[in-house]
Amino acid sequence: MPKISAAGLEALDKLIAETLSAGKLPGFALAVSNLDEQLYAKGAGNKTYGDPTSAQVTDESVFWICSMTKLLAAIAALQLIERGELTFDTPVSKIFPEFATPIIVKEDKTYEPAKETITILHLLTHTSGINYGFGVGALHILPEAYRHVYDAVNPHEQFFALLKGEYPEIPLVFEPGASFAYGFSSDVLGFVVEKVTGQTLEAYSRKNIFDPLGVKATYHLTAELKEKLVDLTFRNADGSIANWENRAAVIQRHPDPVYANFGGIGSYSTLPDYVTILRHLMQIEAGRDVSTPILKKETVKSLFEPKLNDAGSQAINFMAFFLVQNSAHYRNLNWSTGLAVSTNDWEGRRKTGSAFWSGWAGSWYFMDPKTGISLAFASQIVPTIDQVTFEIADKAEEIIYANLE
């Protein structure tokens, strides 16, 4: 099993030190693993940007991992499919009647009834037609359904009402299964898990994913974890960094009560804990005899298999080109039952069949089953797809693959 050479570890240390000294990022961290063990984990900077008296960011610091949550929600739903409590073909309307009569909204805002039924597979693959809303605003402002202050009285119903917005039914951008649209599918999937199990997504995930793997990932911050949470920051148009200063609402979190557990954006984790989950999945995929496997081998393999049709593939690649224009690697992408997959080798980096995604507030991860390497990198900075976080994560990957032995 490959490890990072001494020269590679030194190069990673240098990258982190140079990034910190240049002031390119607020507090950040990196964690790397092979199939056997964690190979590297280090943080840098301060919990609060510009405050040298605040806690140092370490490998034990907590990050809001945002859309890296989508993999966790997919794992929960895939477990229910393995147990026979759901199937890929289960209509979402069977669990939530609000999805019985969705509508297809056209560019002129007219609409017509959808002909196809939204299924669990559509939610897993983001082919449901549910996007992040019509006319989404600035990249540092979350959609209203995330910013809303939920109460304890049926948060699912409140969420679906926000999805409807000005329309009489749940609006879709295409017929279910016709293409790919990145959006609230994972959140709906998480609510399905809650409805089917009678538990919150936090309680279910704690019992069936987090505790069996010995990780402290969570949808609910505690006072202790909040103390370790790296503060959110903002990158100005000139590239400078500023403190967040509540410039826009985020999801509900401690000390406020959390009534809506978002499977698309709602979890928090240290990077070593998240990489522990990735390593566990890759051990299962590799046929390792692991204790307390959270999924079966054939299910894990589906996380690395493209599921989109041609239209869906074109859609995800268009989105990737728009968001990461300065990289030749984020091309020829597809989506599996939980995350994006690469359909070709990236020269000097991850191999065909690697799976990956990122998070709204500056986090990135990937799993490469051919080499056994997994990586997670995070800061806490928006607008989303911050190019500096992307460049540092990309450079770290380049160093790792150049120094495997």
**Interatomic CA distance for residues 42 and 30, integer angstroms:** 6
Picking from 186, 183, 159, the residue whose alpha carbon sits closest to that of residue 263 is 186
Identity of the residue numbered 372: G
Number of domains in the chain: 2
| Domain-ending residue, one of 135, 166, 201 | 201
Residues 264 and 379 grouped into a single domain? yes
pLDDT value at residue 267:
98
pLDDT value at residue 330:
81
Task: Look at residue 207 and tell me if it is in a domain.
Answer: no
Residues 197 and 267 grouped into a single domain? no
Task: Look at residue 345 and tell me if it is in a domain.
Answer: yes
Task: Look at residue 255 and tell me if it is in a domain.
Answer: yes
**Interatomic CA distance for residues 170 and 158, integer angstroms:** 13
Task: Look at residue 253 and tell me if it is in a domain.
Answer: yes
Residues 276 and 389 grouped into a single domain? yes
| Residue ranges in the chain whose pLDDT is less than 50 | 135
**Interatomic CA distance for residues 184 and 136, integer angstroms:** 13
Q: How far is CA 49 from the centre of its chain?
A: 24
Query: Looking at residue 343, which CATH number applies to its domain?
Result: 3.40.710.10
Residues 234 and 331 grouped into a single domain? yes
User: Please, what is the end-to-end C-alpha distance for the chain in angstroms?
Assistant: 8
Residues 234 and 191 grouped into a single domain? no
Q: Which domain holds residue 126?
A: 74-201
| Domain-ending residue, one of 147, 175, 201 | 201
**Interatomic CA distance for residues 313 and 321, integer angstroms:** 12
Residues 46 and 85 grouped into a single domain? no
Task: Look at residue 209 and tell me if it is in a domain.
Answer: no
Residues 358 and 232 grouped into a single domain? yes
Residues 377 and 330 grouped into a single domain? yes
Q: Which residues of 367-381 are buried (b: 16+ CB within 10 A; e: fewer)?
A: bbbebbbbbbbbbbb
Each residue's pLDDT tens digit, 59-117: 999 999 999 999 999 999 999 999 999 999 999 999 999 999 999 999 898 999 999 99
pLDDT value at residue 321:
81
pLDDT value at residue 140:
80
Residues 79 and 63 grouped into a single domain? no
Residues 194 and 312 grouped into a single domain? no
Each residue's pLDDT tens digit, 137-168: 567 889 999 999 999 999 999 999 999 999 99
Residues 88 and 32 grouped into a single domain? no
Task: Look at residue 364 and tell me if it is in a domain.
Answer: yes
Instruction: Enter the tokens of residue 345.
Output: 């080798």
Helix (H) or strand (E) holding 186: helix 185-197
Residues 269 and 388 grouped into a single domain? yes
Contact 11, 375 (CB under 8 A): no
DSSP-assigned letters across all residues of 213-235: HT---BSS--HHHHHHBPPPEEE
Task: Look at residue 268 and tell me if it is in a domain.
Answer: yes
| Cα–Cα distance list, 166 to 105, 133, 154, 171 (Å) | 11, 11, 20, 9
To the nearest 5 percent, what fractions of the chain are helix, strand and coil? Answer: 35, 15, 50
